Structure 1
C-alpha cells in the first residue's frame, strides 16, 4: 500500500509507521451507513438491495408498501403493441443525409412514420417485475398509518433494517438481496404477524404504451389494464414451502418464485379470480397459515423460468459474506485523517458510490441505464457513449472481475447488429449504436442518436484497460475481433476531403456536448483526436498479436484532419474563429475540449501545450452554475493531468453545485429532466478519484491530483493507474 500524507504548509511526506498499516475499511464503511428517520415520498430516491443484474427498491418499510417502487432486472424487457395507425417498425428505413457526396440513411426520426419511429425509440422497454409490500387487516397500508419510522442501510453487510409502528404496534423488516441469484429476502417481525393483522401482498403491473410521456418512469408500470396480461400460480408445495407465480405479458413471461422455511408455513392466495377487471386483479396475499409465530421470512426470486429459490437463511448468510468480500477486495481510499472541512462529505460519497455501483452497474454483458436499476429513464435503455463513465472505474479500483463481466461481452452481443448497421449505410466494420437494448441492439432513432460519434472508439479505450490489468495473449485474442471491426468502421467512415487531402469526420455529426449544428458540423476536436487514438491503439493491438495491420488504418490515421484551432486554442469544431468563445450555446458546455487532455490518453493528435492553454480558457468561461452531469469528474481528471491538483480537488468537492442526496446518489442537475439517480455521476466520481489518488500513465509521485496543502491527508490501497 502507498500512503500519501499532505498537510497544510508541508511537503510530500511518506510516513513510515503508516506505510504498512492497512486501512480499517469496515470502520470507515460502517461509519457512513445511510440512516433515515422520516417517511420518504415519491421524490426521494429509495434505498436498494441487489447484485447488478437485479435490484429491489424500498420505501420506508423496507418493502414497496405505500410507494410502488420498482423491481428491475437486466433481463426483463417487453414490447408494446404495434402502432394503432397500421405503421410497422419494418417500414422504417432511416432518413437520408448527404455524407461525403452521397446519400446515407441515418437513424433519425422520420416525420412520415411518426408512430413507427416512436415505437422503435421506446421498444423494447424495461419492465417492473412486481411490487411486494405490507398489508394491515387485509388492506394496503398507507403512509398515514405508519409512525416512528427509522431505516438503516448497513453498507458493510448489504442489509436494510426498517423499524416503524402501525397503529402503535412495533414492526421490524430486514431486507437483503442475493449476489448469486435475482432474489430478495424479507424477515418481518411483529406481534401483528402473530395476530394475523399483518401480511404481505404481491402485485404485478403492466407496462403502459410508451409514448414520449413515459420517457421517464419513477414508478414503472400501471395497474389499469388487467386484461392485457395474466398471472397464475403454476406451482405450489406447502410441505416444501414453495410457490411460483407466472406473469405473462404478450411475448414476455417470467416467474416470481417464492420460498419460506417449511416449519414456518405460509399461505399464498390470489385476492381476486382470474379474469377480474379490477386494478387489483393481479394481487396476491402471503400470510402465516397459523398464529404460532411473531415473525415470517421468505425469499422472492425472479427468473425467466420456474425455479426453486434458496431458503431465506441461505441468502441471508451468503449476502453478508459477499458484501464483506466486496468491500475487502480491490481498491480503497481513505481521507478520514484530513483536517480539510470537505473531507467527510468526500469520504461519504466515496463509500456510498461504491455501494450503488455494485447494485446498479455490475450486470452480465450489459451497461446500466443512466438511472441504474432504480427507475426507467429513456425507456430503460442504456447509452453506449456512456459505457466508460459507467464502468471504467471497475478497472482502476482493482475490481477487474466486474469489468470483465461486462466487456467485451457487451460488444460481442451487439456486434452482429452493428456490422449490419454499418453495411446498410455503406461502410465497413461495426457501427456501434447510441441508445440501445441488449436484446435487439437497435439504435433508437433520434436527432442525436443517429449521428453521435464519440461512442465508436470506446472499445479501444476499454481494451487498453483490460490489457493493463491482464497483459496476456488471451486478452489480446479475446478483444481482437471487436477492435478489428471497430477500426474497420473508423477507417471506413472517415471521408477524404479532396481540397485538403485530409480525412474528415462529418457532417452530419454530433459531438460529446450535443450542442453544435449537426448538418454542418465537421471535424469535432475531441472526436478527431479520439479517432486517431482509436486507430493507433488498434494498430498496436495487431502488433502485439503479430498480425498484419491493414494499410487503410495506417493511411487514415496519418492523414486525419487535425483537431481544429482558433487563436492558438482548440475549437469545438472546424470553421470557428476566436469569437466562438462568446457563443453562450457552445461555452455553456465545452467539456469536449477538456477531454482532449482529460480522459483521453496521450495521442499524437493533441498538442499538450495547446490543450493546457485551452483548459485554462475553459476554466474561465465554464462557470459552476453551468456544469452538470459528469462534467465535474472530467474537470477533475483534466485538472490533475495538467498539474493543477487544487482545481482537481475543487471540482470533486463543489458540493453547492454538484449534489449527492442523503443516500449518496448523484443528481444530474441542469436541463436533463431525468429523475434521480444519475448513476454515471457516482461511477464517474469514482473514476475521477482513481485518477486523482492513484495516478495515470506517466504521472509522477503518489496521489498526484491531491493538493499538498489545504489539510488533505489520503491513504489508499489497491488502486490501478488510469490510462
Structure 2
C-alpha cells in the first residue's frame, strides 16, 4: 500500500513501514535518490535483535482509509498487539509514523532507518530500488543539536557521487539514534520515555530542511486534503443503480485508480509509467526545443530540464505531441475562463507551431507528410520507412483544429502555416478498404505478428479521438472490427484496453466496451495497482489513467451524444455522474 501526495510517496508492507519488504520511498525531486526504508526493529528480553519475519506475525490486518490517506496496520508478535498508523504530509516529502504497543513500553520495539546505493543501471529492477551490500559506494553522516529546523532532533545526510540528500527526524516523541555499524548505513532509533506509544516524523529533502510538521499536524493535513480531493472533483458511481455483478469490480478499480493516480501522478512533473512506486521506467515528461526552428517539441521522456531521456526510440515518437492541446481544451471546458485561455496560450501556440513545422511538404504529391524517420504509437515499425501513419495523421488534424480554435477565442491571428498544413495533410493510408498503420506498409500486415502484438492505435481513430475531418466513420468502424478479430489481445497491456473500450462505446457497442474494461488480461491487484501484463513491469499507471478516461467518457458522454451514460449498456447498469465534462 502507499500513502503520498503526488510529489512524494511512501510504500508500506504489512507492518505499515518497510520492515519486511524494501518498498520504495520516491519523490519527484529525487533524481539520484533511492529508497530509504524505515522499519520496525524487534528486541528480545535481553536486548538482542530478533529476526522477526512476516511469517511470525499473527492476526495481521492492514487497512487504507482512502478518505484520510492513512494506513492502519495491526498484528501481534509473541502475543503482543502492535498498531502502526502511517501518514504523509500533503505539502512536503514527509512521513508520519505512530506506533502503539506494550512492546514499545518494554523496550522491545523500536525503529530502524537504512540507506541503499543505486547507480540507476537496472531499469527494470522493480519492485525494489537500491543495493544494500554496496556500502563503500556512498556515505551517510548523522548530525544532532539545535539549528536543524523546527521540530527537528536529528538529521542524516546521504551522499551518492556528487548528490546529497537529507533525512530529517523529529516531530514526535524524543528518541536516541545510533549507527548500527561503521560498515553499514543502518541506524537504530530508540524511544526515550517508557510509553506504549511512540510517534515520529521522517522528512526527506534535497537540501537542509527548515523543519518538519508534527505527526498530529500531518494527520489533520492529510484528512483535510483528501476530504477536499474526494469532495470537490468529478465522480462516477456505477454500483448503486446497477444489477450487473461486474459493477462492484469496476467501481473498485475506479476508486482505487483515483487514489493511486493522485498519490503517484499528480505532481508538477509526473514521473514515468511506474509512478512513485519503483523505477521500472526512466524519466518523466517535459518540454524540449530539440533544435527545431519553430515551436516546442514534447518528447516522450525527459529529465526535469527538458533533456531527452536515454532510449533509441524516444526522439522518433511524435504521437504524444498534441497531448497538451487536449489537456488545455479540457481545462477550458471546465472553466470557460479568459484566464485559462491566457495561461495556456504559449503552450498551445508553441505546440501547434512545432506540429506545423514538423509536417514536411511533399512536392510530388502536394501534401504535407509526417515522417520518415519516425516510430508509430506501437513502436514496432521501421522508422526509416514509416510515413504518414493513420493515427498520427488524425491526431495532428485534431490538434491543429484545437489550436486554431484557441487562438480565435483569444482574438489572436492564427498562423497561416497551421491552416495550410491542417487542410493539406496527407490522407490516411487505406489498404483493401481499411485504414493501415502507415503509408506503404506490407499489405499482409493484418496477419503479421510483428504488427499486431502491441498498442492497437487504429481503434483510436474513432474512440479515443473524435471523428476528425480526415477520417471516414465507415472505414474507421470496419478497421476497428478488424483489429478486434486479428490483434493478439493476450499480448496487450495498460491503456490498450481502455482505447478498445472507447472505440466500442463510440461505435455503439456498449456491452463490448464493458467487456474490454473488465477483460481477463486487464488486471488490477488487491490494492488497485495496474498490472503491467505481458510486456511491461507492474505497476503501469497509463492503465489507471486510461481506465478513468474511458469510464468518464462512457458515463458522461462525448460531444453530440444524448441521454445518460451513452457508453454503458441499458440493461444491468445504472450510472450516476458528478462534475465531469463531456469528452471531445
Tell me if structure 2 keeps the 8 A contact 1:567–1:577. Answer: no
Q: Secondary structure at 2:351's aligned position in 1? A: helix
Answering whether residue 8 of structure 2 is matched by residue 50 of structure 1, we say: no
C-alpha separation in 1, matches of 2:93 and 2:140: 20
Instruction: Determine whether 1:340 maps to 2:206.
Output: no
Are 1:690 and 2:552 counterparts? Answer: yes
1:369 matched residue in structure 2:
272
- Residue 571 of structure 2 corresponds to residue 706 of structure 1: no
Distance in 2, Cα, partners of 1:342 & 1:240: 49
Equivalent-residue separation in structure 1 for 2:524 and 2:532 (angstroms): 9
Per-residue CA shift, 1:258-299, capped at 9, x if unaligned? 2244xx422222323xxx3x2x2x2221111132x1110111
Secondary structure of 1:376's aligned partner = coil
Q: 1:168 matched to which residue of 2? A: 79
2:315 alignment partner in structure 1 = 450
Deviations 1:401-445 (A, max 9, x none): xxxxxxxxx5xxx3xxx22x133xxx432222222222x322124
What corresponds to 2:36 in structure 1? Answer: 130
- Tell me: CA distance 1:590–1:158, structure 2 relative to 1, closer, same or farther (3 Å): closer
Q: How does 1:204-243 map to 2 (within 5 A)?
A: 204-208=115-119, 210-211=120-121, 213-236=122-145, 242-243=153-154
Q: Is the 8 A contact 2:446 2:452 kept in 1?
A: yes
CA shift, 1:722, in A, is: 1.6
The 5 Å alignment of 1:539-558 reads 539-558=404-423
Instruction: Check conservation: 2:274, 2:281, Cα contact below 8 A.
Output: no
Query: Is the 1:483–1:538 contact (alpha carbons within 8 Å) kept by the matching residues of 2?
Result: yes
User: If the length of structure 1 is used for normalisation, what is the TM-score?
Assistant: 0.76
2:89 is equivalent to residue 178 of structure 1: yes
Matches within 5 A, 1:198-597: 198-208=109-119, 210-211=120-121, 213-236=122-145, 242-261=153-172, 264-272=173-181, 276=182, 278=183, 280=184, 282-291=185-194, 293-304=195-206, 305-337=208-240, 338-363=242-267, 365-379=268-282, 381-382=283-284, 384=285, 414=287, 418-419=288-289, 421-423=290-292, 427-438=293-304, 440-576=305-441, 579-589=444-454, 591-597=456-462
C-alpha deviations, 1:488-538, integer Å up to 9, x for none?
A: 221111122222111111111111111212111111001111112222222
CA distance in 1 between counterparts of 2:225 and 2:465 reads 34
* Cα deviation 1:42-63 (Å, max 9, x = unaligned): xxxxx00110101110111000
How far does residue 577 in structure 1 lie from its aligned partner after superposition?
A: 6.4
1:599 paired with 2:464, answer yes
1:355-396 CA-partner distances (Å, limit 9, x unpaired): 111111111x212311111111123x12x4xxxxxxxxxxxx
Contact conserved, 1:691 with 1:721, CA < 8 A, in 2?
Answer: yes
- Residue 129 of structure 1 and its aligned partner are, at CA, apart by 4.6
Paired residues of 1:134 and 1:141 also in contact (CA < 8 A): no
Query: In structure 1, how many angstroms separate the alpha carbons of the residues matched to 2:488 and 2:511?
Result: 16
CA distance in 2, matches of 1:357, 1:235: 37
Moved over 4 A (4+): 237-241
Per-residue CA distance 1:589-617 (angstroms, 9 max, x = gap): 46211111112233212122221221122
Deviation by residue 1:673-694 (Cα, 9 ceiling, x = unmatched): x1x2111111211111001101
Secondary structure (helix, strand or coil) at the match of 1:535 reads helix
Does structure 2 retain, via aligned residues, the 8 Å contact 1:260–1:266? Answer: no
1:4 aligns to what?
none
Per-residue displacement from partner, 1:181-223 (whole Å, max 9, x unpaired)? 2211111111111111111011111213x33x44433211112
What is the rounded CA distance, in whole Å, between the counterparts of 1:217 and 1:666 in structure 2? Answer: 14
Pairwise CA RMSD of aligned residues? 2.0
Structure 1: how far apart are the matches of 2:442 and 2:203? 60
Distance 1:320 1:548 in 2: 47
Q: Secondary structure at the match of 1:436?
A: coil
1:642 aligns with 2:507: yes
- Alpha-carbon distance in structure 1 between the residues aligned to 2:178 and 2:453: 57
Distance 1:240 1:335, change over 3 A: closer
CA distance in 1, matches of 2:301, 2:152: 43
Q: Distance in 2 between matches of 1:541 and 1:325?
A: 31
Asked if residue 63 in structure 1 is aligned to residue 22 in structure 2, the reply is: no
> What TM-score comes out, normalization by structure 2 length?
0.94
Residue of structure 1 equivalent to 2:69: 158
In the alignment, the residues of structure 2 paired with residue 235 and residue 603 of structure 1 have an alpha-carbon distance, to the nearest angstrom, of 64
Q: How many angstroms apart in 1 are the aligned matches of 2:483 and 2:39?
A: 50
Partner of 2:104: 193
Determine if the alignment matches structure 1 residue 662 to structure 2 residue 566: no
CA deviation vs aligned residue, 1:644-703 (integer Å, no higher than 9, x gap): 21111111122x22111111211121222x1x2111111211111001101112222111
CA contact (8 A) 2:36 2:115 kept: yes
Question: Aligned partners of 2:58, 2:455: CA distance in 1, in Å?
Answer: 49
Aligned length: 575
Unmatched 5+ stretches in structure 1: 1-46, 79-126, 385-409
Tell me, yes or no, if the aligned pair for 1:352 and 1:663 is still in contact at 8 Å.
Answer: yes
Offset at residue 354 of structure 1 (A):
1.4
1:636 shift after superposition: 1.1
1:77 equivalenced with 2:5 (yes/no): no
